[in-house]
Amino acid sequence: MCGIIGLVDPQQSQHDATRIGLAMLDVTSHRGPDHRGIWCTPPVVLGHNRLSIIDLSSASNQPMTYGDLTITYNGEVYNYIELRQELESDGFVFTTSGDTEVILAAYRRWGHTCVERFIGMWAFAIWDDASKELFCSRDRFGIKPFHYIERDGRLYFASEIKGLKGTPLFRGGLNEAQIARGLYLGWMHHHEETYFNDIKALPASHNLIWQNGRIRIVRYADVDTYTTDEGSFEEHAAGFRDLFMDSVRLTARRDVPMGVCLSGGLDSTSIVSTLASSTDEHRIKTFTAYYTNKGEVDERPYIDHVLKAYPQIEAHYISPDADDIAAAIDRITWIMDAPMPSSSYVSQYFVMQLASQQGVKVVLDGQGSDEIMGGYMHSMYRIIADHLRGGHIGEALADLNAHGSRQGYPAGKRIDILGKSVLSAVRDEPSMYALEFRKVYPWILRQSADDVPLRLELPAGSKLNGFLYNLLRVTLLPTLLHTEDINAMAFSIESRVPFLDHRLVQYCFSLPNDHKVHRGETKRVLRAGMRGIVPDAVLDRKDKTGFTTPGHITWLRGPLAYLLEGGWEEMNDVVDHKALMQIIDQYRRGENRHALFVWRLAMLRAFLRTA
């Protein structure tokens, strides 16, 4: 993982273009402390802050030139060894042992379609001097960031938004629609939209091609949500296990120390247990945040089961206190490039800090599992809805009752779930989110909710797959991946996510509903596939705690209380001041009903001060 920047601007001299590129690199220097490189052939500048992970020699420094091709690249193509062997059989000769040169050779061999062969995560730009074309690409799920500004045939791009704010094309206007989505839905991006009108994100699974002052953006891959594999559950569990173990094997490739972010939940425990049981990793460091006050989450008892099963795991823990939070919050809000919708990302920041203190440069994390296997409780609404739409009333009631019993829900809660399931059966995903957008919190923005576009997808297939597809592409995962990258790179760490191997993602989408979620059991195929590898105490957990932190309840009334001080007049252009102060005053009096909304308001306020 590294930081990339670049520009194509015929209006800049070589001197000025280089100066601008160096300034962009300065702002994102935390992404790559091992080497800085810049390459300029007007009108093009490519720049790179390197975090050395594979082939630590200077031969793999970037930007790298390969004949008339020059690349700046962030990420890892995990199957680079296999691709290299294939290319060598075609006569290609390599002078380095890393994956960057393999990408260049693959581009030379297969052109734009080379990315369809990659297993991994990437954001890169290749200047082809022969065709005078800049070819940019972002991985299938947007694990690696790629932000850009373009106007009048001029293009600037960078890994992080802050790298673009000092460029000549940046005008600084705020995207009010994105402010609304962030406050009410917790989204930090929406397709190509960011919090700034000028700055766009290249969508996942897309290429951007600049040539002769014109830009084309082309999708190169997607997930099939319709086709269902009719194999048995036992066959699917075995197939999942094989694919997942191969993904972990590939994502463990590196030439530097590696660890695992371990929450005590099923996803991260599956990763570390697979590493410990099925690879040559003899010492595995794990990193966990915990909190011990009443009502807070401490996952260490579940982690103890993993440590007993695999003695080669070396656990490290951090429990940020009030002073830690107060000292770090300004840096965290700055690095995010958008308001934080949840305090859980503060805990993630401290986990990455802990990993850095232990000398680790790569971590594996469990992002993506819930989005491809129905790990969130809202998946139950779609499971029941699919039964209802198919006329299978008995199955719908059986799943409802099993889910209610598994979670210990009273009758009133079960009726609520049934009502939401019926709503899901008769409404599509866009209208479900539009309803949530308008009803989840009091509307206090000056703009109308009707003026804020929500672009949800309507893929073919089941209600469950439609819900999961939107989690993956639109609603949740883009935010999780944004914060994962930002927090890891704040400490010059590369974060990898084995569940987002595209082969595994497609496999899970091809499974029947009841192989993903059945009788209240979420991620059923994962639990079955990991039986005998993950300790039963973790496999059989019935709760879904997430990466919970005490931020919006405790921190805003403690070390971060100052964020709520004052009259909030600086928000007047965005919100109705009277309605805002009613919510803030209720929170100050101890009302927690809208505590998460208050957290988002406080983070928006902090963001606007530096935007």
- Tokens representing residue 390 in the block: 């198919």
**pLDDT of residue 523 exceeding 60:** yes
Residues marked as binding for L-glutamine?
A: 99
CA angle 574, 575, 577 (to 5 degrees): 130
Cβ-contact 605, 611 below 8 angstroms: no
Taking only the tens place, the pLDDT of each residue in 564-609 is: 999 999 999 999 999 999 999 999 999 999 999 999 999 999 999 9
Residue 196 is predicted with a pLDDT of 98
Residue 296 is predicted with a pLDDT of 80
What's the pTM? 0.97
Which residue among 2, 40, 114, 508 is the active-site one?
A: 2
Residue 354 is predicted with a pLDDT of 98
Residue 611 is predicted with a pLDDT of 86
**pLDDT of residue 294 exceeding 90:** no
Taking only the tens place, the pLDDT of each residue in 88-113 is: 999 999 999 999 999 999 999 999 99
Q: Is residue 43 part of a domain?
A: yes
Residue 546 is predicted with a pLDDT of 55
Mean pLDDT value of segment 525-546: 90
Cis peptide before 339 (omega within 30 of 0): no
**pLDDT of residue 281 exceeding 90:** no
Q: Is residue 103 part of a domain?
A: yes
- Tokens representing residue 185 in the block: 């839905």
Q: Is residue 56 part of a domain?
A: yes
Q: Is residue 542 part of a domain?
A: no
Mean pLDDT value of segment 227-247: 97
Mean pLDDT of the chain: 96
pLDDT classification of 1: cutoffs 50, 70, 90: low
Mean pLDDT value of segment 314-342: 96
Q: Is residue 162 part of a domain?
A: yes
Strand arrangement of the beta sheet that strand 313-318 belongs to: 313-318, 284-289, 258-261, 362-364, 494-496
Domain stops at, among 219, 241, 270: 219
Q: Is 40 a catalytic residue?
A: no
pLDDT classification of 129: cutoffs 50, 70, 90: very high
**Torsion of the alpha carbons at 484, 487, 491 and 494, rounded to the nearest 10:** 10
Taking only the tens place, the pLDDT of each residue in 40-74 is: 999 999 999 999 999 999 999 999 999 999 999 99
Cβ neighbours for 432, distance < 8 A, ≥ 6 positions apart: 423, 424
Q: Is residue 480 part of a domain?
A: no
Classify 105 in phi/psi space as left (phi over 0), alpha (psi -120 to 50) or beta.
alpha
Structural domains of the chain, count: 2
Q: Is residue 106 part of a domain?
A: yes
Placement of tokens 């600086």 in the chain: 570
Mean pLDDT value of segment 167-180: 97
Instruction: For residue 306, report the phi and psi dihedrals to the nearest 5 degrees.
Output: -70, -40
CA nearest to 226, candidates 440, 457, 392: 457
Burial of 556: CB neighbours in 10 Å, binned 0-12, 13-18, 19+:
buried
Instruction: Quickly count: other Cβ atoms within 10 Å of residue 549's Cβ.
Output: 23
C-alpha Rg value of the chain to the nearest Å: 24
Instruction: For residue 119, report the phi and psi dihedrals to the nearest 5 degrees.
Output: -110, 115
Mean pLDDT value of segment 393-399: 97
Angstrom CA distances, 577 to 293, 373, 443, 583, stand at: 34, 42, 12, 10
pLDDT classification of 548: cutoffs 50, 70, 90: low
Residues in the chain, total? 611
Q: Is residue 294 part of a domain?
A: no
CA nearest to 102, candidates 78, 75, 84, 79: 84
Residue 159 is predicted with a pLDDT of 98
Residues marked as binding?
A: 99
Residues of the domain holding 65: 3-219
Domain stops at, among 174, 191, 219: 219
Domain stops at, among 203, 219, 235: 219
CA nearest to 545, candidates 414, 370, 400: 370
Cβ neighbours for 291, distance < 8 A, ≥ 6 positions apart: 297, 298, 319, 549, 550
pLDDT classification of 316: cutoffs 50, 70, 90: very high
